A and B are shown apart, each in its own frame.
Chain A
Amino acid sequence: MARTSERAVIVGAGLAALRGAEAMRAAGFSGPLAVIGAEPHYPYDRPPLSKHVLAGAIPADATTLPGIHGLDADWHLGNPAIGLDRGRRAVLLADGRDLPYDRLLIATGTRARPWPNPHEGRLAGVFTLRGRDDAAALRRALAAGPRRVLVIGGGFIGCEVASLCRKLGLPVTLVEPGPTPLARVLGSTVGAFIGAIHAGHGVEIRCGAEVEWLEDAEGRLVRAHLVDGSRIDADVAVIALGAVRNTEWLDGSGLSADPGGVDCDASGHVHDTDGQTDPRIAAAGDVARFSHPLYEGRRVALEHWSHAAAQAVHAGRLLAGTPPGEPYGALPTFWSTQGDLVVKSAGLTEGADAVAITQGDPAAGRFIALYGRAGRCIAALSVDSARWLPAHAEMVAAGAPFPPHGAAADRPKAIKILEPGFS
């Protein structure tokens, strides 16, 4: 167990930071603990931002997470870390102060990838969606009843925002360069099924299309111009182009970090550019890149809520001096609430060479898609069929043979093997 005189610093103030801090306390760490956040907010829950907050069901500031009380931490909020000096064992803050550490958790997460043209990105009516303030601002814009919302990017956030706009009765166009929404993560076969459900609810989907520039009228967005020369009149645009990992502050620290994340070893400790582990520092959440034991050690950095929470608990125990018995290797899972539709997943689809509908029926809007690679199950996706997912997650965790054989409830008589449609 860590000596109580030792000081812990957690860089980042999101879910992973909070769960990591809680885990350190739970594991007996009783020394001073500082949490550094770039935003002026206590840790809050992000998933509701693109759902409940945009829907107007709850205010953005209601998303503060449980667990802050009783943590006995020193909070440095709105004061981002700008550097790490491992020689002096200190974190440098934007206000010029240094925070010394004996144990350090890196949980700086990601930020929204901005629109490439900074001027256009700053137009009134153009939004990204990552933080609580982003959500509050976008909510105000949606509540004002825009004529049309343009969603640029058909990933999970893009689909959540677009379907939510329909729930609010707003006209919405989703522009996605790929062949279907969600094609990058789910492949175009399943992406087309989900896209059809959203189209059925009135989302206008323009796939294989790209926005070239955003038109400015006195500082306000008025329309988008597409590469093919067409135009979309819209007074709100949501840039949903994915996330960028917050690793710039580690430049010069000697740690192995780049825009793809900071590298960790199997235990969860970070390592430096020479491959040497730094036993005082661990990383968790979106920013941590690690070898996933369930996927042949492929190095991944996962942007999933449950992963942030679980990996942070692992890292917190590690830093508190009571390391978990085995390397972190939880089956990756996520969910996405898209309007009234719930999409959940277990496993990683990357590298899938086949996909099959094993329960339900895409035409009915409820189904399970099971992904295979070289004859093994590697991922499962449920669409409004959450209670079937655990059984499939078990098959994924066990690397069960793909496709599954034999009869099952609500399963087509003969399972069709489909091309997953990854480009």
Chain B
Amino acid sequence: MPDASLLGQVKDFANRANPYPVYAKLRETPVSRQDDGTGDGTWVAATHDTIARLLQDPRVSSDTQPPADRPRTGNPLTDLIVKPLKDWMMDRHRVFIFRDPPDHDALRAAVMHQFSRERVQAMRARSDRLVADLLDAKSGAREIDAVDDLAYPLPVTVICELFGVPREDEPKFHGWATQLATALEPDSLSDTEIRAKNSRTFDAIGGYMADLIKDKRKHPRDDMLSGLANHATPEGAKMGDYDLVATSILMLVAGHETTVNLITNGLLTLLRHPDELERLRQDPLRAPRVIEELMRYEPPVQFRTRRTLSAIDIAGVTIPKAADLVLLLASGNRDAAVFPDPDRFDPDRTGTRHLGFGGSLHYCVGAPLARFEAEAALTALAARLKAPRLIEDPPPYRPGAALRGPEHLRVAIDGIA
């Protein structure tokens, strides 16, 4: 049955290229209950103020995942003994974007300790080199696909090198990452088929990671996975193996599925605003402002789900306890109460507190890396693409509503400088 609610329209693929008019309708009621056929409905926060408040409200939990329920195999031994154990282990060792403090804080702190400034700075320099090589490889071309030729391979190479995943294994991750990213889509909470697929994918990638972790223990290198596998945090905490596998998967999936959209949305937006593309070409130091505005204007993660631990009075409504919540980050970013002329792409805005990287305890871990990669990619594209033109506008989009971005971005060029 088609879902006619505004949230249903957000999820509707027909609105993928431009969900912003639906968001504008949602903002007319800052926090609304959307009847999405799940019984209790889903509560959607759509204004900057309500999203920012709910992001930092301790009554709002990130533990949104229903209990693990792996598909049955028909083998009684597996279904009665192995399955409940595995379900229990999965619930106990969820990835930390779906966990609350104090567990969340300990896992995140361990990651942050390894996600050091030195490692990120090294990847900053590496990004410049990778972008140059990727563009050099297209020299002579009269058309590029910004996704396949740059926006996908760049972050994927960076996350693999940073984490210590052999680059030759990367093709395996492509499908795994795409599948697991669906866990951020609201339907994944209720759709048993998606959940079964995710569970199988988690097993496959988990098996790979467990082997890789063993290898990192035997042959530690200077990469994040070796660090997580072999060293404790300054507080003395060391991750257990199950958490380590889950955390590694989270980092790799995040590295595959988000920055690609930032770079692609970035080029798409600049091609739609040729004056801004030209300004960036002339002044590459505009890039940080361009990128921050892109994170407001076309954020790769459009919304996140949460769950209430207690009833919350906000904006004239009471969200009941144990309610499903959607924080529509990309809508808050278009809220005229905070951003004058919100639908205008304007890198010269000041004091921009956008919600593109989320906020509070779950603020995007990879944000600094995403910024450096996007800066490397967009400044190089601005500098080197000769007379770039969009071949299709809007471009074809990937299925996700939460992780939203073009599947391909074909650009005609007169060459690459």
A residues whose Cβ falls under 8 Å from a Cβ of B? 358-361, 364, 387-388, 390-391, 394, 405-411
Contacts and interface: CB of A to CB of B under 8 A. Distances in A.
Nearest to B312: A406
Contacts of B183: none
B101 A407 contact: no
Given A390-B56, A391-B53, A406 B321 contact: yes
B272 to A, nearest CB: 35
Contacts, number: 44
Contact of A406 (B59, B102, B361): B59
B53 A407 contact: no
25 contacts: A359-B58, A360-B102, A361-B102, A387-B56, A387-B361, A388-B56, A391-B56, A391-B57, A391-B58, A405-B310, A406-B309, A406-B310, A407-B59, A407-B310, A408-B58, A408-B59, A408-B309, A408-B310, A409-B59, A409-B60, A409-B61, A409-B101, A409-B309, A410-B101, A411-B58
B53 A388 contact: no
9 closest A-B pairs (Cβ-Cβ)?
Answer: A406-B310, A408-B58, A409-B100, A410-B101, A407-B309, A408-B59, A409-B58, A387-B360, A391-B57
B10 to A, nearest CB: 26
B311 interface: yes
A13 B61 CA distance: 47
B139 to A, nearest CB: 45
Contacts of A405: 310
Contacts of B100: 409-410
Q: For A358, A408, A409, which residue has the most chain B Cβ atoms within 10 angstroms?
A: A409
Interface string B296-315: 00000000000001110000
A360 B310 CA distance: 18
B403 to A, nearest CB: 24
Contacts of B61: 409
Nearest to B63: A409
Q: For A359, A388, A405, which residue has the most chain B Cβ atoms within 10 angstroms?
A: A388
Q: What secondary structure prevails in chain A residues at the interface with B?
A: mixed
Q: For B56, B58, B100, B310, which residue has the most chain A Cβ atoms within 10 angstroms?
A: B58
A322 to B, nearest CB: 20
Q: What secondary structure prevails in chain B residues at the interface with A?
A: loop
Interface in B89-107: 100-102
Interface in B306-328: 309-311, 321
A417 B102 CA distance: 22
Contacts of A390: 53, 56
A71 to B, nearest CB: 19
Contacts of B102: 360-361, 364, 410
A242 B196 CA distance: 64
B284 to A, nearest CB: 25
Contacts of A407: 59, 309-310, 321
A394 to B, nearest CB: 7
Contacts of B101: 360, 409-410
Contacts of A406: 59, 309-311, 321
Nearest to B361: A387
A1 to B, nearest CB: 24
Given A359-B58, A410-B102, 12 more contacts: A358-B58, A360-B102, A387-B360, A388-B56, A394-B53, A408-B309, A408-B310, A409-B58, A409-B101, A409-B309, A410-B58, A411-B58
A361 B106 CA distance: 14
Contacts of B361: 387
A364 to B, nearest CB: 8
Contacts of A409: 58-61, 100-101, 309
Interface string B40-59: 00000000000001001111
Interface in B56-84: 56-61
Nearest to A385: B101
Interface in B263-313: 309-311
Contacts of B58: 358-359, 388, 391, 408-411
B310 to A, nearest CB: 3
B384 to A, nearest CB: 37
Contacts of B310: 405-408
Contacts of B59: 406-409
Contacts of A359: 58
A410 to B, nearest CB: 4
A224 B53 CA distance: 51
Contacts of A364: 102
Contacts of A411: 58
Interface string B216-237: 0000000000000000000000
A405 B53 CA distance: 18
Interface in B18-36: none
Nearest to A410: B101
A408 B60 CA distance: 7
B263 to A, nearest CB: 29
A405 B56 CA distance: 17
Contacts of B56: 387-388, 390-391
A400 B5 CA distance: 34
Nearest to A409: B100
A257 to B, nearest CB: 36
A274 B241 CA distance: 74
A411 B309 CA distance: 11
Interface string B96-124: 00001110000000000000000000000
A408 B61 CA distance: 8
Nearest to B100: A409
Nearest to B101: A410
Nearest to B322: A407
Nearest to A394: B53
A387 to B, nearest CB: 5
A407 B63 CA distance: 13
A10 to B, nearest CB: 26
A176 B305 CA distance: 49
A245 B321 CA distance: 50
Contacts of B309: 406-409
Nearest to B60: A409
A167 to B, nearest CB: 15
A391 B360 CA distance: 11
A224 to B, nearest CB: 35
